[in-house]
Amino acid sequence: MGKGSLIWKYYGEKIGIYFVFLGFYTEMLFIAAVVGLACFIYGLLSMEGNTNSIEICDPAIGGQMIMCPLCDIVCDYWRLNSTCLASKFSHLFDNESTVFFAIFMGIWVTLFLEYWKQRQARLKYEWDLVDFEEEQQQLQLRPEFEAMCTHRKLNPVTKEMEPHMPLCSRLPWYFLSGATVTLWMSLVVASMVAVIAYRLAVFATFARFMESEASLQQVKSFFTPQLATTLTGSCLNFIVILILNFFYEKISAWITKMEIPRTYQEYESSLTLKMFLFQFVNYYSSCFYVAFFKGKYVGYPGKYTYLFNVWRSEECDPGGCLIELTTQLTIIMVGKQIFGNIKETIYPLALNWWRRRKARTNSEKLYSRWEQDHDLESFGPLGLFYEYLETVIQFGFVTLFVASFPLAPLLALINNIVEIRVDAWKLTTQYRRTVASKAHSIGVWQDILCGMAVVSVATNAFIVAFTSDIIPRLVYYYAYSTDATQPLRGYVNNSLSTFLIADFPNNTAPSEKRDFTTCRYRDYRFPPDHENKYFHNMQFWHVLAAKMTFIIVMEHIVFLVKFLLAWMIPDVPRDVLERIKLEKLMTIKILHEFELNKLKENLGINVDERVKKHVMIEENKV
């Protein structure tokens, strides 16, 4: 008997299936963590031999490339080799294994969901929940619903009058609920824009103090203005996420209660929709911005794009924005997991300590064991809801942006090992034993996981195509390289366009004049001496076509494999299906034999009565 069955026997099906799900998810994460760690090690071993980093760090190549300022007036020109260490660090996560790992995770998530369906079906059989769906339709109404309802309606099934809430009474609360969710999601977007404005404003400050004359020297610094802004911006964004999440949890629970759901299942479904939509936007919006928007609408020197006509749009490093996405993802994911575990540990511990302190008298004997157990914190009907929500948000980090951070499954695996022990410790020592309740599956969370699995294929394909630097390197490798021995030699110079400093408008040129005539920037545009100067050249369209082709090919390959695996792996294991069929057949056979024996008994009684009647008639004749 597995540990899941022992938990089921003590706590009931609902808590039992949560621990089985968390354990199964952790087991599957081990496979993804090993593959992700192997990809990271590959990047680590190939870092020193990376042609791009070698050219950027080379004083004769990167040291001679004068880059255009990254902000107006206060930012100075800088040499490309000042980002030497950052380019090496970027190669850890932006290398050939990135494509492989993105495809692998698309297949892994399919295997995880399909094998979980099998595990769930086996649990339904072992825990005698095969026919639970029919019983679920007869759930009792919420006491709050019955207390608030003044109308009655005839139930067409039971033919009894039951509480009824007209739609006209619910509509105002539905509108308020929708407006509240929209407002808070707008607040998340507004806070993200505020963080972007902070990053743009602070970048100029960092650039002023950290670049100055040193930016034009042969300096190889890891702590660049871009990295400093990224780290502080990511930390600030994480703090804003925690603050918004704290207030929204209270408001969403109150709004859902005011909607007066009919059953507990309707209540959980309504709350799940609100909380997941909000937390999806809250936790992932900054990652979506870095992955799909930052550096994509910058413009070019002399014609930059501005946010609110004040701040220039953020640019990516010459090596791309992938390293910044990795930094953002790491800070938010790790910070959320550490904060969540600390909160789950300290919160019930502090409440129980305070309760015992108030209840304890001078004599310890007067504070009996059952009183101590009764004074423990209540787990509540929504205790598992927040546990599932935390796991699903982590699942999003592991799948949606995993192409940028192969170590995400490893961090999730370590967290889940701790999470299982923390949850077990909470339920056994810090919470009163909950009332057992039935559940045949993880409910609506399974649909959410399936939806995120589908979305993850598209997000990882777009990350590899537009955020990573792999596709431009491949285009150069096959179409533009002139060195047969080292096809990637010269890629750095090829990926940077040239701008004539004299073409800078007065309000964007650096305040301090230099004796340079040109500077470089990341784009594929014609040089200033071309008749179509600063327009996109043919290589830009070749790279764009290659990116779109890669997205289409990768999505079709992964979706084809996903559908084949889903078709090949049955939702119910064959042995379980045969046992269910055998039990149904035995039930039918037993019922048939019972009816047959009953009929034979009735026939036997009728024959005996006819014989007795015939004997009496003959005796009377005599």
DSSP 348-375: HHHHHHHHHHHH--S-GGGS-HHHHHHT
Mean pLDDT of 379-398: 86
Residue spans of beta strands (DSSP E) within 66-224: 66-67, 78-79, 151-154, 161-164
Band of the pLDDT at 28, cuts 50, 70, 90?
A: very high
Alpha helices in 463-537 (DSSP H): 470-475, 491-494
Mean pLDDT of 530-552: 91
What's the pLDDT score for residue 610? 57
What's the pLDDT score for residue 129? 75
Query: Which of 100, 94, 99 has the alpha carbon at shortest distance from 50?
Result: 94
If you count DSSP H runs as helices and E runs as strands, how many of each does the chain have, helices first? Answer: 19, 10
Query: Which of 273, 423, 250, 245 has the alpha carbon at shortest distance from 335?
Result: 245
Query: Which of 266, 6, 18 has the alpha carbon at shortest distance from 136?
Result: 266
Mean pLDDT of 41-61: 86
DSSP summary character for residue 95: S
What's the pLDDT score for residue 377? 77
Query: Which of 323, 312, 245, 325 has the alpha carbon at shortest distance from 286?
Result: 325
Mean pLDDT of 288-294: 85
Mean pLDDT of 389-399: 91
Whether 413 and 487 map to the same domain: the answer is yes
**pLDDT surpassing 50 at residue 362:** no
Domain final position from 532, 551, 572: 572
Whether 567 and 579 map to the same domain: the answer is no
What is the span of the domain harbouring residue 578?
574-622
Question: Distance (Å, rounded) from C-alpha 85 to C-alpha 543?
Answer: 26
Mean residue pLDDT across the chain = 81
Whether 470 and 592 map to the same domain: the answer is no
The number of folded domains in the chain is 2
What's the pLDDT score for residue 360? 62
Whether 462 and 506 map to the same domain: the answer is yes
What's the pLDDT score for residue 147? 67
Amino acid at position 27, single letter: E
Mean pLDDT of 473-494: 85
526-557: b or e for each residue (b if 16 or more CB lie within 10 Å)?
Answer: bebeeeeebebbebbebbbebbeebbeebbee
State which H helix or E strand residue 518 sits in. strand 518-522
What's the pLDDT score for residue 112? 93
Whether 578 and 496 map to the same domain: the answer is no
Whether 476 and 611 map to the same domain: the answer is no
Question: Distance (Å, rounded) from C-alpha 395 to C-alpha 453?
Answer: 9
Q: Which residue has the higher pLDDT, 509 or 398?
A: 398
CA contacts within 13 A on the Cβ side of 383: 20
Query: Which of 382, 380, 442 has the alpha carbon at shortest distance from 129?
Result: 442
Mean pLDDT of 573-592: 82
Whether 530 and 556 map to the same domain: the answer is yes
Whether 525 and 585 map to the same domain: the answer is no
Whether 558 and 547 map to the same domain: the answer is yes
Domain final position from 556, 572, 588: 572
Whether 460 and 590 map to the same domain: the answer is no
Q: Is residue 529 helix, strand or coil? A: coil
Whether 99 and 244 map to the same domain: the answer is yes
Pick the most confident of 218-222, 342-346, 350-354, 538-542: 538-542
What's the pLDDT score for residue 21? 92
Band of the pLDDT at 409, cuts 50, 70, 90?
A: very high
Question: Distance (Å, rounded) from C-alpha 329 to C-alpha 366?
Answer: 52
Burial of 380 (0-12, 13-18, 19+ CB in 10 A): exposed
- 316 touches 324 (CB < 8 A): yes
Query: Which of 351, 438, 331 has the alpha carbon at shortest distance from 11?
Result: 438
Band of the pLDDT at 319, cuts 50, 70, 90?
A: low
Whether 560 and 590 map to the same domain: the answer is no
**pLDDT surpassing 90 at residue 208:** no
Pick the most confident of 102-106, 143-147, 189-193, 228-232: 102-106
Question: Distance (Å, rounded) from C-alpha 319 to C-alpha 327?
Answer: 14
Domain final position from 538, 553, 572: 572
Question: Distance (Å, rounded) from C-alpha 153 to C-alpha 155?
Answer: 6
CA dihedral 439, 441, 442, 444 (to 10 degrees): -100
